[in-house]
A and B are shown apart, each in its own frame.
Chain A
Amino acid sequence: MVPVSDDARPVVEVTGATVRFLAETALDGVDFRMFPGEVHSLMGENGAGKSTLIKGLTGALRLDAGDIVLDGEPVHFGSPADAQRAGIRTVYQEIDLLPNLSVAENILLGREPRRWGAIDWKAMRREAAAVLGELGLDVDPASTLSSHSLAIQQLIAIARAISADVKVLVLDEPTSSLDLDEVAELFRVIRELKERGVAILFVSHFLDQVYEICDRVTVLRGGKLVGEYLTRELLRIDLVQKMLGRSADELVVRPRSEPVESGEEAMLDVRGLGRGRLEGVDLVLAEGEVLGLAGLLGSGRTEVARLLTGIDRPDDGTIALDGVVISPRNPRRAIGYGLTYSSENRRTEGIIGELTVRENITLALQAQRGIFRRMRHSRQKELAASWIEALGIRPSSTEQLAGTLSGGNQQKVLLARLLALAPRILVLDEPTRGIDIGAKVEVQRLVGELADNGMSVVFISAELEEVLRVSSRITLLRDGRAVATLQSDALTVDSLLAMIAQPDDGE
């Protein structure tokens, strides 16, 4: 931990930052500062003003009022390029690199070393290798970017950001698509940068990670500053309360402990499901039950979900619904059986960004009805409006483009699309990833309510605590096999972790 005394000078200080969009004030007189060599987290619900403040700080947006002082000098950023020149660099959630270029080209994009006007490829690889070396990354600079995993690409994006003279590094949701090992690797790199005196702004919805890596937290709510705190002095429950502005008791979702007799009365009975690395997976799901799938990334969680809902076709195994073997060969057919899937990749496999909320919500139902039985516009509007109200989607306009909504609201639109089908089984793959705590609690609560009303849910999440809280039983996956199915009452996060981490000795 870096000691930050009160007389140390902040590397960047924002005072009275105000941003208005038409009538709405997105940011209202917010003060914010960062010290060299600290990891600072900006916390708040969606709509709290986090991204607006970040955009103001990185030059993507002009402040209507307020000042930014960098290294004691007042600065004005007209564009992201201005901010970059001044030493404020950003790594975005969606990696903005060029997949078909080499690692070295990506790292040095726009400032390639030149010799006689042409690019000096040797120097380029050398420089890139040096930057990668500094971060302790063992990556061949000449390899193609797309040949690396998402996690490595993320680290390469950081390498690109820090290879210039960087004072402030903004990491926007850097861990949302990484697994545990990869997060550890990222944190190692962050600590490395901290040692070098870089101020790092770390934005994440994962509280665990914030507590693990951050020295200081600034909390925003409704566009206003709530306060700045040292992480070690702020209790977790207090942080959540400050973010939400409501009492902490409301946040606790009642654990579901409904007894389910597995076996004979199973509604969905899956035997020996296999495809690729996935082998012999058995699953049983009763009516009105929430079954959690737990396991590491790559254990086969998503693969199982995709096979169940016809996204991919299984090589082996049978799926029986109400005792009858069915073959959901494509998503359309699966939906016909009442099997629906919400993808973990909201943007690429979920939302149709340039269509309206109304069109997104009615899409699956319309597809099921067929081209010639078009739903009347008034009916579409009615249906969309009722789901918007039921799930609390904001803004509550049916004609808003879905792509402009926040992550949590996009997730709700997706859920509404599936629920409009009146499905029997809902397979939710990471439904709370990358959405703020308030929306997360709402989604968890909704899952409970749906199950109470007789819907069966398969719930996948990387957050064990969440899986435990929401599910009544949990099937544990390891390396493409279902290794155990347990009542969640009998489990704790620690015992679940221990089982996941257990090496495969039986085989």
Chain B
Amino acid sequence: MKRILKNRLFWPVLALVALIVINTIARPSFISITVQGGQLYGPLIDILRNSAPLMLVALGMTIVIATRGIDLSVGAVMAVSGAVALTIIEGSSDPNGLGTVLVAIVVGVLVALVLGVWNGFLVAVVGIQPIIATLVLMLAGRGIALLITGGFITTINSEPYKFMAQGYVLGLPFALYVSMAAVVVVALLERRTALGVLTEAVGINPEASRLAGVRSRGIIWGAYAASGLLAGLAGILYSSNIMAADANAAGLYIELDAILAVVLGGTSLMGGKFSLAGTVVGVFTIQTLKSTITFLGVPPAVSPLFLAIVVVIVVLVQSPRLRSVLARASQALRPRNSSPQGGSEVAS
């Protein structure tokens, strides 16, 4: 039991489970999953599907935060990649052709990669503070997207493209496969190679890492490039979901959700040690929370407030300091049980 309690993921997972339980109590149909034509449907499946863009963005954000940075431009990059892909499909003679769609997706993601490389250049080479460096694209990116779509909301009809976000494979949403594949690839890249530990070293102490011969600059640069690439993929999923490139609405405020997911997952904004599994849990927590709002019928006008209150509670529950204060308070309430053990627990 103690080992479970000490696990870094214990509190994030507890928060997620609690949210699901509360939803289920409020409305038992929350956990119901129905099968229609070999495809699974239900609120939980929706959460898995809809969390895909946030998952991609939050993965990139985790790596960037581990290097002691932050990437505010992810939402704007999403808008750009969606705009690029949809403009290509709209302009082509064969919007339903698989080739057209593949080209559109690849080009859209590559443009996002270039934007990520630009961020990385500003941070790692020029030495601009990450929050400022990525703020540039956060503001400029939507302008670029509008420029690409000519100021309109580009809408298309393309079955293969629609499949990205709305299709099903083996009974599960295709978008879920995309996000899970990204999780696996990033996890393998970070933890099966030495990239993860070197990233943490750079995030904890950049100068000491450089002196130890770590390519700090390359690692930081790579983190922003990866974040751009993943945001680009997220932009494809987002635009595929609504089959439109809306430069103003695509990925709006997603950088904040992503940062929140990373923090909920137990990765410190100070950089260094990071937890990809924690981020995955954090993303599901946020997505469940958003579903809760619609599911419980919270009026849209007050939903941001509701979201904020729940987030504050979740973060407080995870705060080690608050927990130790509560533990001490509960001990004070039971004077007979307070023994010298109390001191040693605090010391440990």
Give complex CA distance A366, B200 in Å. 13
Q: Is B212 an interface residue (CB 8 A)?
A: yes
- The interface residues of chain B lying within 8 Å CB-to-CB of A355 are 197, 200-201, 204
Q: Is A9 an interface residue (CB 8 A)?
A: no
Min C-beta distance of A381 to chain B, whole Å: 14
Apart from A22-B347, A62-B343, A311-B211: 8 A-B pairs, beta carbons within 8 A: A20-B344, A21-B344, A349-B207, A352-B204, A355-B201, A359-B197, A363-B214, A367-B209
Q: Is B192 an interface residue (CB 8 A)?
A: yes
Give complex CA distance A438, B341 in Å. 34
Min C-beta distance of B191 to chain A, whole Å: 9
Give complex CA distance A366, B195 in Å. 10
A343 and B214 form a contact (CB under 8 A):
no
Q: Is A77 an interface residue (CB 8 A)?
A: no
Give complex CA distance A374, B194 in Å. 5
Most A C-beta atoms less than 10 A away, residue of B200, B208, B344, B348: B208
As a 0/1 sequence over residues 203 to 226 of chain B, the CB contacts with chain A under 8 angstroms (1 = contact) are 011011111111100000000000
B213 and A332 form a contact (CB under 8 A):
yes
As a 0/1 sequence over residues 89 to 132 of chain B, the CB contacts with chain A under 8 angstroms (1 = contact) are 00000000000000000000000000000000000000000000
**Nearest CB to that of B340 among chain A residues?**
A64
Most A C-beta atoms less than 10 A away, residue of B204, B213, B215, B340: B213
- The interface residues of chain B lying within 8 Å CB-to-CB of A367 are 194, 198, 209, 212-215
List residues of B (179-199) whose CB comes within 8 Å of A's CBs. 192-195, 197-198
Q: Is A371 an interface residue (CB 8 A)?
A: yes
Give complex CA distance A371, B195 in Å. 5
A352 and B209 form a contact (CB under 8 A):
yes
Q: Is B272 an interface residue (CB 8 A)?
A: yes
B213 and A331 form a contact (CB under 8 A):
yes
Min C-beta distance of B258 to chain A, whole Å: 23
A331 and B208 form a contact (CB under 8 A):
no
- The interface residues of chain A lying within 8 Å CB-to-CB of B344 are 20-22
**Nearest CB to that of B219 among chain A residues?**
A371
A363 and B211 form a contact (CB under 8 A):
no
A-contacting residues of B (Cβ < 8 Å)?
Answer: 192-195, 197-198, 200-201, 204-205, 207-215, 272-273, 340, 343-344, 347-348
Ranked 3 nearest A-B pairs via Cβ = A374-B194, A332-B213, A364-B212
Q: Is A148 an interface residue (CB 8 A)?
A: no
Contact A372:B193 (CB < 8 A) given known A331-B213, A364-B212, A366-B198: yes
- The interface residues of chain A lying within 8 Å CB-to-CB of B207 are 348-349
Give complex CA distance A343, B195 in Å. 24
30 contacts between A and B (CB under 8 A): A21-B344, A22-B344, A22-B348, A64-B343, A311-B211, A330-B210, A331-B210, A331-B212, A331-B213, A332-B214, A335-B213, A341-B211, A348-B208, A352-B200, A352-B208, A352-B209, A354-B204, A354-B273, A355-B197, A355-B200, A355-B201, A359-B201, A363-B197, A363-B198, A364-B212, A364-B214, A366-B197, A372-B194, A374-B192, A375-B194
B211 and A331 form a contact (CB under 8 A):
yes
B-contacting residues of A (Cβ < 8 Å)?
Answer: 20-22, 62, 64, 311, 330-332, 335, 341, 343, 348-355, 359, 363-364, 366-375, 417
Min C-beta distance of B345 to chain A, whole Å: 10
Give complex CA distance A349, B205 in Å. 8
B208 and A351 form a contact (CB under 8 A):
yes
Residue in contact with B212 in the complex, picked from A348, A354, A363, A371, CB distance below 8 Å? A363
Min C-beta distance of A261 to chain B, whole Å: 33
Min C-beta distance of A402 to chain B, whole Å: 10
Give complex CA distance A369, B214 in Å. 10
Give complex CA distance A224, B176 in Å. 62
**Nearest CB to that of A306 among chain B residues?**
B211
Give complex CA distance A488, B20 in Å. 75
Give complex CA distance A5, B200 in Å. 57
**Nearest CB to that of A335 among chain B residues?**
B213
**Nearest CB to that of A26 among chain B residues?**
B347
Min C-beta distance of B12 to chain A, whole Å: 20
**Nearest CB to that of A61 among chain B residues?**
B347
Most B C-beta atoms less than 10 A away, residue of A352, A372, A373: A352
**Nearest CB to that of B201 among chain A residues?**
A352
- The interface residues of chain B lying within 8 Å CB-to-CB of A311 are 211
Give complex CA distance A64, B347 in Å. 11
**Nearest CB to that of B200 among chain A residues?**
A355
Min C-beta distance of A302 to chain B, whole Å: 13
- The interface residues of chain B lying within 8 Å CB-to-CB of A363 are 197-198, 201, 209, 212, 214
**Nearest CB to that of A421 among chain B residues?**
B213
Most A C-beta atoms less than 10 A away, residue of B194, B212, B215, B347: B212
Give complex CA distance A21, B195 in Å. 36
Give complex CA distance A343, B200 in Å. 20
- The interface residues of chain B lying within 8 Å CB-to-CB of A62 are 343
Give complex CA distance A350, B348 in Å. 26
Most B C-beta atoms less than 10 A away, residue of A21, A363, A367: A367
A352 and B213 form a contact (CB under 8 A):
no
Give complex CA distance A38, B201 in Å. 45
Give complex CA distance A444, B320 in Å. 42
A371 and B211 form a contact (CB under 8 A):
no
- The interface residues of chain A lying within 8 Å CB-to-CB of B213 are 331-332, 335, 364, 367-368
Give complex CA distance A355, B194 in Å. 14
Min C-beta distance of A414 to chain B, whole Å: 9
**Nearest CB to that of A417 among chain B residues?**
B212
Give complex CA distance A330, B214 in Å. 10
B194 and A371 form a contact (CB under 8 A):
yes
Give complex CA distance A21, B192 in Å. 37
- The interface residues of chain B lying within 8 Å CB-to-CB of A368 are 213
- The interface residues of chain A lying within 8 Å CB-to-CB of B192 are 374
- The interface residues of chain B lying within 8 Å CB-to-CB of A331 are 210-213
Give complex CA distance A375, B204 in Å. 21
**Nearest CB to that of A336 among chain B residues?**
B213
Min C-beta distance of A236 to chain B, whole Å: 35
- The interface residues of chain B lying within 8 Å CB-to-CB of A353 are 204-205
Min C-beta distance of A447 to chain B, whole Å: 19
